[in-house]
């Protein structure tokens, strides 16, 4: 019990004094996850939209794989990117392992299926209603993709926020490819894992509280967006 009270005191102390170490890892966490989510969203929108609209052999299988990858364990994503970036791997020459870039790549691998699969479903739902009307208006397949993405924008924001929630909270991928190096690749989650294993429970809990606050903020934004969408367009 004292641990928890200590934790709140410590967290409060870290926040009000704007502890520079805390600020550093918080900013790195947000920078890595935000960059990964932006890249993963662009990829996910394109993949999800194309899977919904363009018919091609193997589309069903690809869609199933994409959905399955939503549950990809972060350590597997990390391991996969580790193999690619390690000195023996095909991209070893780039010397990216244990850099923030490597962490971004791993999180892109993790988040793209989430945004992609949710985008595909949002597009399919809209397409059911729009398909004949859009074809009647002589829309090309690529024009249909753009229309679905734009008209599904509120649901896509939800997909992006879900992806961000996943990225900011995961530890496995960034740990494996980043290495939790102080001042270079230490993020909120890897710091929590480290402090816990050092027995520094109060600090770990304090970091956890801050991480939770970020997650709550993301969720609040999510609900806000949905409310806005409902009010404006019955979307």
Partner 1 sequence: MLDPSCPLEAPDGHLASPPLPIQLKGLVYAAGSKRVIDGIDLTIESRRITAIMGPNGAGKSVLLRLMHGLITPTTGDILWAGRRMDRLIARRQAMVFQRPVLLRRSVAANIAYALGLRGVERYQRAIRVEEALKLAGLERHSATSARVLSGGEQQRLCLARALSLEPDVLFLDEPTSSLDPASTQAIERLLLDAQRRGIKVVLVTHDVGQARRLAHDVVFLHDGRVIEHQEAEGFFADSRSEAARAFLSGGLVL
Binding site for partner 1 (CB under 8 A): 129-130, 132-139, 143, 147, 151, 232-235
What's the closest the beta carbon of residue 135 comes to partner 1, in angstroms? 6
103 or 149: whose CB is closer to partner 1?
A: 149
Nearest distance from C-beta of residue 26 to partner 1, angstroms: 36
CB closer to partner 1, 146 vs 218: 146
Whole-number minimum distance, CB 105 to partner 1, in Å? Answer: 34
Q: Which is nearer to partner 1, 183 or 231 (CB)?
A: 231
Question: Which residue lies nearer to partner 1 by CB, 169 or 235?
Answer: 235
Q: Which is nearer to partner 1, 194 or 229 (CB)?
A: 229
Smallest gap, in angstroms, from Cβ of residue 168 to partner 1?
29
Alpha-carbon gap, residue 146 to 220, rounded angstroms? 28
| Nearest-approach distance from CB 130 to partner 1, in angstroms | 6
Question: Closest CB to partner 1 among 4 and 233?
Answer: 233
**Are the C-beta atoms of 109 and 77 separated by less than 8 Å?**
yes
Cβ proximity to partner 1: between 72 and 134 the closer is 134
Query: Nearest distance from residue 58's CB to partner 1, in Å?
Result: 23
DSSP string, the chain: -HHHHHHHHHHHHHHHTT-HHHHHHHHHHHHHHHHHHHHHHHHHHHHHHHHHH---TTHHHHHHHHHHHTT--HHHHHHHHHHHHSTTSTTGGG--TTSHHHHHHHHHHHHHHHHHHHHHHHHHHHHHHHHHHHHHTT--HHHHHHHHHHHTHHHHHHHHHHHHHHHHH--HHHHHHH---TTTT--HHHHHHHHHHTT-HHHHHHHHHHHHHHHHHHHHHHHHHHHHHHHHH--
Minimum distance from residue 216 beta carbon to partner 1 (Å)? 29
- The values of phi and psi at residue 55, to 5°, are -85, 130
Token pair 């949905």 is at which residue?
A: 226
């Amino acid at each position: 019990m004292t641990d928890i009270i200590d934790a709140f005191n410590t967290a409060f102390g870290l926040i009000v004094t704007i502890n520079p170490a805390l600020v550093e890892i918080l900013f790195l966490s947000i920078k890595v996850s935000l960059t990964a989510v932006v890249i993963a969203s662009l990829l996910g929108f394109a993949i999800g939209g194309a899977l919904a609209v363009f018919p091609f052999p193997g589309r069903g299988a690809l869609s199933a794989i994409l959905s399955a990858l939503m549950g990809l364990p972060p350590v597997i994503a990390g391991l996969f990117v580790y193999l690619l970036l390690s000195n023996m791997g095909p991209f070893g020459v780039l010397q990216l392992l244990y850099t923030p870039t490597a962490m971004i790549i791993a999180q892109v691998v993790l988040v793209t299926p989430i945004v992609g699969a949710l985008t595909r479903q949002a597009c399919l739902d809209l397409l059911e209603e729009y398909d004949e009307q859009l074809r009647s208006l002589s829309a090309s397949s690529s024009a249909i993709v753009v229309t679905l993405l734009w008209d599904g924008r509120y649901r896509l924001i939800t997909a992006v926020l879900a992806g961000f929630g996943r990225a900011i909270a995961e530890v496995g991928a960034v740990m494996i490819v980043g290495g939790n190096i102080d001042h270079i690749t230490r993020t909120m989650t890897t710091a929590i894992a480290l402090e816990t294993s050092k027995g520094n429970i109060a600090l770990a809990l304090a970091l956890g509280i801050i991480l939770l606050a970020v997650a709550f903020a993301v969720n609040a934004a999510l609900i806000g967006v949905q409310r806005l969408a409902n009010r404006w367009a019955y979307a």
